[in-house]
Amino acid sequence: MGVKLVSIIFIIAIFTGMQTVQAAVKIYTFTDTTNNKAYYNDSSQLPSLPSPEPFGNGTEFGSSGYTQIEANDNSYATTDSAGVGASQYGLSQHNFKFKIDVDITNITLINITYGGYFTATNNDSNKVEIKTDTTNETMTNLTRTDANYTKSITSNFANYLDSDNYLHVRAYVIAHNDGLILITLATDYIEVLVVYNTTPRLINVT
């Protein structure tokens, strides 16, 4: 389904009088490609150092690409570009957006986990970034070895969601290579975990 509602409900506080506050968890993945979307960008032989593409831009992944990024299983969606010589650059990029269907005022934690790597001879810039209202927040720098990275957001949640309640993430590598050597971005998976308070309920205390 793309969103997993963890069935265990945690009682996180009991108030004298009878009221409890409960926390639940939703996990967003690319098993749901109706509400969550992924895009790729590949630009080669650029004459100057490029900037990454804006969040949300690009060509949408096909069904096989979505399958490759829906789980942490060492199956990769790859995007290649090329920069020939020191004066030409390539950009390989993946953009992701997740529809968060939880009331922002109830959210207490957002965890973003990304797994992947890049290959390039001469790397100029490689990052995983999260879009915010004011800037692009760096989650991590990628490496040439497959690894998993997690970013925890614990406050100011409205800054991370757009007007349609999408959370945006992008991963990219910009490089120039000696000779025609591919610049590859490989994404294994990405998921967003949201912890939120449910509506308090009354319990009878006798």
Reading the chain (206 residues) residue by residue, the pLDDT tens digits are 565 554 334 444 444 444 566 899 999 999 999 999 999 999 988 888 889 999 999 999 999 999 999 999 999 999 999 876 667 888 999 999 999 999 999 999 999 999 999 998 777 889 999 999 988 999 999 999 999 999 999 999 999 999 999 999 999 999 886 566 789 999 999 999 999 998 755 555 55
Is residue 136 classed exposed, middle or buried when 0-12, 13-18 and 19+ CB atoms within 10 A define those classes?
middle
This prediction has a pTM of 0.86
Q: Which of 139, 38, 156 is nearest to 98 (CA)?
A: 38
